[in-house]
Structure 1
Amino acid sequence: MHEATLAANVLKIVSRAAAGKENRVARITVSVGELAGVMPAALIFAFNALKKETPLDRADLILIKEPVTACCDDCGTDYQPGPFPYHCPACGSRSFRITGGEEVRVKSMELKKEI
């Protein structure tokens, strides 16, 4: 279950970024590419389990699905491929490079003032 490792990495990244801040982290937004092989429910479950008894214990995790993007090797068109097999919408070529949709990235964190 690599979602637990991803959740631990998200917690580590955000903890470092929030270190020394007076406000607590309320929300973390993470983009997950369609080809990243991540099960969203498993990532949220792992995050919620690992955040307990940490400074991020009240933070919510928001996931944003990022689409697959490709670039045609023949004509250079950037596009979002449809169902497999992929083909360029401009020239019909099936020769392409995946240019996005494989990543998992921390996009933002929202801080909230403690009352």
Structure 2
Amino acid sequence: MGSESAVALPRTLAWQLYREHGGTGFEVERRGARRGGGFMVQTVTSNTPAEKAGLRWGDEIVEVNGQSVLHLSDAAMRLLLRGKVCTKLTVGVKRNGLARVQRITASRVLIRTP
């Protein structure tokens, strides 16, 4: 049996996988309409690793795990932010319009999207 075939997931399992992922509890939106800018933190959920690590509304994320995000698509950014539960995520943020990049690290936990 050397060949493998793709197996379709049952609709309920696929939906569950879409709604549950490893994350740190914040959402971002691209700063400006075009690529080339960072991603602004729009929400930080209470009692999540992101909040506990010090991430704030309005922070501009310019890197994830040491990789610049300035030219990433929104979809590519979401893939970088999500990951396996119990893994670390480090974001480089600019705060209050300052040029200095501050690095914030948080552990991913199971996130359930309503």
TM-score band w.r.t. shorter chain: under 0.3
- Structure whose CA Rg is larger: 1
In the superposition, the TM-score normalised over structure 2's length comes to 0.24
The structure richer in helix per residue is: 1
Higher relative contact order (CA 8 A, sep 6+): 1
In the superposition, the TM-score normalised over structure 1's length comes to 0.24
